[in-house]
Structure 1
């Protein structure tokens, strides 16, 4: 009995002491709102080895205060969102060849440096919302498309409408999962991110393909295609990314482009598109949407004005990716089977952009020659010919069946 009374007394004194300490902190650090963390004394997180820690959740400390209660979470600091190794390696084989400091000047602003980057302020710690994720996943980074946003053209006359962190957007069709109220965390759980996985769930973890749908009844579709190869309605694509370097800042006059993170550079693009993305083979060996990681060009304005040589092609690289623009429907058969441009096999007879004559070093953006897919491979010409041959009886039969089904629905809706 005496031990029980003593325990209650100690707990009460501890609570009083915690309240007193918190009250002392709040004289300068006024918090707002209450979360699960506000029941603890400030020193639980902000005191270590007799020293007060101003930011106990930073990557430099491996978020030691957070991981005391959330063990293993420090692994996020060794994964892509923190290290950004893929971006650094891309710059090393492209823009760093002409400017060793390029990454720090233009690419270093978005990366996870503390738990608060995703989970909010100390007094409003919470699971990240879609808006929290889009603090970094904006512009050309996958994530904006989920809410129906695509990057606008770079000229200042197009910088209007909604804006986030200095980025304005085109209003596009959002993903059906976003419209249903699903957050990024529904498919990208913390455990999977700590393990370096892109997601914690795949499409078929929630969806069972309806075998009565013609496309689902084709074995090649179900075995060789990612679901989002057909169900991605659109994707932002940037063809020809130009970085213009101004050693003399006065030479910027006349370039009416959106300012970038570094005053030495301006950025623009040859072409931005938001239609159905091209297709290739991803690292899992399945047909997947692809887009230019960057077809990267560099111009030193001062040198170009003195000696010419603008728009130097540094690298032309593509990536297989998942556009977050899922819809129930898909393109018709000929959207893939009779569309060589979608596989970067554009014939000369269909070419309308004359990029080689424009001094861009590529015969076409939609031609595989001179380009590479860094996390997979391009679709081979032989495989495309086999897939699209009108002599293929299965393709001929199913394409006719598909169009008959479409025409039936048109007739029904026209009565």
Structure 2
């Protein structure tokens, strides 16, 4: 009998993890995980605790990644920023469709938000720095990120759902950002240090680039003083005009009837029009001229038992957003693209309208008529300022002629280079 007790004691010593005071770990007696990458020399207990206080997921936002920030100090502040809270999106939903459906954000919008460090630093025990593919799991479709790699949202109709795919969605191939073509990744401009402070980027254009005064557009002081660089250098931008949500109750034929994009629960979503050209312009929060796009021009229709209840296509929001399209190219639009183009500033003349929205029951005169619409994080340019921009002053005429001579090869180099 004594020899049996001795064997049992030896066996238990081999398999039961030692106390932290012993300075050793026996985790791998049961767990065959192997650490690779930057954490390969760290013991299990540094992240998971000892045998009495084991933490299954030490990187979760639920406890602000307490184990991670024991070493990576300060990075728990990321859980207070929009990537985790999604406060702007929640506020938009709460003020619009959330008034009729308090669960809308949770059921339709809550898929992309940071739940812990491993959402970006994926790989389990093979932790690594995030690559662009990880960023694009959320920053895709209509949201900034996919455009950097030349991916534009396609029209919703099923016949357009073809071509290349990324993250389970088909996209329209477009010209990538010149920085993407040069091999720069998201992290080259969007560092962790900037994200935890709530900054959108760690670098501005002028941190790497200096405006060349030999370029016609750069030689005009008002351009450098009043415009964001990407107001001219964003080659294109995805724009969605008219976002329709259809809510169904007791309507089993919803998809066959409407042919829109199916969503969770009882919703379908479709868009009136999607564009991928040069975006409209307005003012951002800093008061500088910036690209705008519809944050959402949002309509809701309630359908019960195949019949519309209340107003069809009820307008819930007509909000625009100043933003930075990640579609930078060296060239710019011609002078007329801004200086004699009221439509680009949402002052479309009635005689030039192609879409008759009010006749279609959509409660706006035009998507490109600012009346009844607003910019959430900036403003529309004053009409008087736009009229002044359209004046053919001698200085404008000289620059305009010089531009055309450069483009036709009659003089020197070109602002395209």
Output the TM-score relative to the length of structure 1.
0.91
Could you say which residue in structure 1 is the equivalent of 2:217? 215
- Alpha-carbon spacing, 1:14–1:244, altered in 2? closer, same or farther (3 Å): same
User: 2: distance between equivalents of 1:201 and 1:307?
Assistant: 50
Could you say which residue in structure 2 is the equivalent of 1:4? none
- Alpha-carbon spacing, 1:174–1:412, altered in 2? closer, same or farther (3 Å): closer
User: 1:411, CA displacement in angstroms?
Assistant: 12
- Alpha-carbon spacing, 1:306–1:362, altered in 2? closer, same or farther (3 Å): closer
Give the stretch that moved more between structures: 51-60 or 200-209: 51-60
Could you say which residue in structure 2 is the equivalent of 1:41? 43
Contact 2:342 / 2:348 at 8 angstroms: preserved in 1? Answer: yes
User: 1:318, CA displacement in angstroms?
Assistant: 0.2
- 1:211-266: CA deviation from partner (whole Å, max 9, x where unpaired): 10000000000000000000000000000000010112403132223322x13111
When you count helix as a share of all residues, which structure comes out higher?
A: 1
Among 73, 88, 94, the alignment partner of 1:92 is 94
Superposed, which structure 2 residues align to 1:46-65 within 5 Å? 46-47=48-49, 50-65=52-67
- Alpha-carbon spacing, 1:259–1:166, altered in 2? closer, same or farther (3 Å): farther
Could you say which residue in structure 2 is the equivalent of 1:398? 399
User: 2: distance between equivalents of 1:286 and 1:301?
Assistant: 43
Aligned-pair Cα RMSD in Å: 2.1
Among 24, 31, 43, the alignment partner of 1:17 is 24
Contact 1:22 / 1:41 at 8 angstroms: preserved in 2? Answer: no
User: 1: distance between equivalents of 2:159 and 2:40?
Assistant: 47
2:142 is the counterpart of 1:132? no
- Alpha-carbon spacing, 1:369–1:63, altered in 2? closer, same or farther (3 Å): same
User: 1: distance between equivalents of 2:82 and 2:369?
Assistant: 30
Output the TM-score relative to the length of structure 2.
0.90
| Long gaps (5+) in structure 2 | 1-19
Could you say which residue in structure 2 is the equivalent of 1:153? 155
- Alpha-carbon spacing, 1:411–1:205, altered in 2? closer, same or farther (3 Å): closer
User: 1:160, CA displacement in angstroms?
Assistant: 2.1
Could you say which residue in structure 2 is the equivalent of 1:3? none
User: 2: distance between equivalents of 1:304 and 1:389?
Assistant: 54
- Alpha-carbon spacing, 1:73–1:411, altered in 2? closer, same or farther (3 Å): closer
User: 2: distance between equivalents of 1:76 and 1:158?
Assistant: 38
Moved over 6 A (4+): 13-16, 410-413
Contact 1:311 / 1:360 at 8 angstroms: preserved in 2? Answer: yes
- Alpha-carbon spacing, 1:310–1:63, altered in 2? closer, same or farther (3 Å): same
User: 2: distance between equivalents of 1:378 and 1:250?
Assistant: 43
User: 2: distance between equivalents of 1:343 and 1:97?
Assistant: 31
- 1:20-59: CA deviation from partner (whole Å, max 9, x where unpaired): 4234321xxx45x721212222221111693211111000
User: 1:388, CA displacement in angstroms?
Assistant: 1.1
User: 1: distance between equivalents of 2:309 and 2:77?
Assistant: 50
In the alignment of these two chains, the number of paired residues is 394
Could you say which residue in structure 2 is the equivalent of 1:362? 364
